Amino acid sequence: MLRFATACCFWLLATAALAQPVGFRPAPPLEQGHSHNDYWRPRPLFDALALGFKSVEADIFLVDTTLLVGHERADLRAARTLESLYLAPLRQLGVNRYAQPAELWLFIDFKTAGPATYEQLRRVLARYEPLLSTPSHARPAGVRVMLTGGYPRAEVLADHSRLVFLDGQLPADLQPELAATIPTVNADWHAHFQWDGRGPLPAAEAARLRQWNALAARTGQRIRFWNLPAATPVQRRTVWRVLLAYPRLLVGADELTELAPTIAEAQAH
């Protein structure tokens, strides 16, 4: 059982975590960019927003009745909660997250048992409902919460007052009738592609990307690959440039200062 810090210490740390950093400036929103492992950065959320990323990701663990953010249990700290790192700062920023109003997608990756984690997430999100774009109420500059990882799909779909959307599986959930509930689908890159950025993209794999991109354009969904080849800067940028040619793809990375200018360059053409 994770041992919590004293109440005084917790609130001091939490307040520091949610405070808007000195020098923060809204950025023009970037299409197609996804901030993977966002909480690993020195300023979770704000580093991504400062570069214009419209999609960020937080892994959550349910510990007692608190949703803590971290990649592994060993990384968890009492002050690093979903509220302190993401929801409270977003409420503080309001629509002023970018140089122009844009919806933010907050992916929440379930790392602990689905039903209990979802029940607590429902309670937490209810406190921030005016901030959210939900299945029943779209807000052009709202925050759209996207569940991914080990979320309990049946329980979420049975919740008719849900405040969240789902990240589905590629290719099974790439269907027009699912788009309202499942706006994005994801897949492990290496489960479908052999290309690692070296040499030309094989014709058969290029055809598969074109097919899925065209289908996603018809269904209104987005596609997100994870576990992309990323061993070197050259490899990363080569892969990103190829994927950015397909407008329905979200391109995720840990190296935001490399990906942001690559996306900006692609958007300019």
- Domains of the chain, start order: 22-264 (3.20.20.190)
Residue 245: pLDDT over 70: yes
- Four-residue CA torsion sign, 215, 143, 51, 10: negative
| Helix (H) or strand (E) segment spanning residue 143 | strand 143-149
Residue 53: pLDDT over 90: yes
State what percent of residues in the chain have pLDDT above 70: 93
Q: Report pLDDT for 19.
A: 63
Section 250-254 average pLDDT: 96
Closest CA relative to residue 142, chosen from 132, 130, 127: 132
pLDDT band at 216 (very low <50, low <70, confident <90, very high): very high
Q: Report pLDDT for 2.
A: 42
**Measured between alpha carbons, how far is 83 from 68 in angstroms, rounded to an integer?**
9
Q: How many other C-beta atoms lie within 10 A of the C-beta of residue 1?
A: 5
Section 124-132 average pLDDT: 97
Helical spans, DSSP H, in the chain:
7-18, 46-50, 82, 88-93, 114-126, 153-158, 203-219, 233-244, 256-268
Q: Report pLDDT for 240.
A: 98
Section 139-146 average pLDDT: 95
